[in-house]
């Protein structure tokens, strides 16, 4: 999708299923890994989760170039802010920074709908955003992308209060697999970031399904 919101078959697009789950001991972010170009599946191992701070990551959904640019800007600005204040930026501050970045470009928006999640001294948090900078904190879970409606069905049915990161990892895998089975724009392997107070652990699931 191009920056003027029109479909362009020459632009890599991440149709995507991305999600985040709040746990009692951290956050799980998960995506699949298929990128398309028009009707072509251009890549089945496209990275869709980026670590942007020691205990904060973001998923990407939308135009690949726009999403990657936003991730780079966020990573650089959070590192600079940490240097200025001498400590890690909170998850809320990171989400607010991304919201401002997207809102400032609303006339010619970045085509991206990320889920941002992480852990700080106040606990685990996830936020969902849209291309114009709308910002919502999700108390339990959130999802974006073309497969999100399918993933939400699994999350609504199986999420429970007090879920651990290990339990949430398995739930995220089931939700992404369900989306891959029904959403033609979602496919490839499953990418997971398990975020706790110790940091970010990346997990790759080589899923043979689509």
d(CA 73, CA 83): 16
For residue 135, give both structure tokens: 């910002």
Q: What is the pTM of this model?
A: 0.91
Which two three-digit tokens encode residue 157? 């049915």
Angstrom distances, CA of residue 167 to CA of 71, 76, 127, 170: 28, 32, 20, 5
pLDDT tens-digit readout, 57-91: 999 999 999 999 999 999 999 999 999 999 999 99
| Per-residue pLDDT, 97 | 98
Between 91-104 and 64-85, two packed helices, what is the crossing angle to 10 degrees? 130
Tell me the CATH number for domain 13-205: 3.60.20.10
CB-based contact 16:146 (threshold 8 Å): yes
Residue 26 and residue 41: Cα distance in Å, rounded?
33
Point out which residues pair with 20 in neighbouring strands.
Answer: 29, 142
pLDDT in tens, the chain (210 residues): 334 433 344 445 556 899 999 999 999 999 999 998 878 888 999 999 999 999 999 999 999 999 999 999 999 999 999 999 999 999 999 999 999 999 999 999 999 999 999 999 999 999 999 999 999 999 999 999 999 999 999 999 999 999 999 999 999 999 999 999 999 999 999 999 999 999 999 999 997 766
Q: Of the listed 16, 18, 31, 59, which one is catalytic?
A: 16
- Catalytic annotation on 122? no
Residue count of the chain: 210
């Amino acid at each position: 999708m191009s920056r003027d919101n029109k479909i362009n078959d020459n632009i890599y697009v991440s149709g995507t299923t991305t999600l985040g789950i709040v746990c009692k001991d951290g956050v799980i972010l998960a995506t699949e890994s298929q990128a398309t170009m028009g009707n072509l599946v251009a890549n089945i191992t496209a990275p869709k989760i980026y670590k942007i701070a020691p205990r904060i990551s973001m998923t990407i959904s939308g135009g690949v170039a726009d999403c990657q640019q936003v991730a780079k800007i966020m990573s650089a600005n959070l590192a600079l802010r940490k240097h200025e204040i001498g400590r890690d930026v909170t998850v809320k501050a990171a989400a607010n920074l991304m919201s401002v970045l997207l809102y400032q470009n609303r006339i010619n928006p970045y085509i991206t709908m990320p889920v941002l999640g992480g852990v700080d001294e106040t606990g685990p948090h996830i936020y969902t955003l849209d291309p114009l900078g709308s910002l919502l904190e999700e108390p339990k879970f959130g999802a974006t992308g073309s497969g999100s409606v399918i993933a939400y069905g699994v999350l609504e049915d199986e999420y429970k209060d007090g879920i651990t990161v290990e339990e949430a990892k398995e739930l995220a895998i089931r939700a992404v697999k369900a989306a891959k089975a029904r959403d033609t724009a979602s496919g490839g392997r499953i990418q997971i970031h398990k975020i706790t107070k110790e940091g970010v652990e990346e997990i790759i699931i080589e899923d043979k399904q689509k």
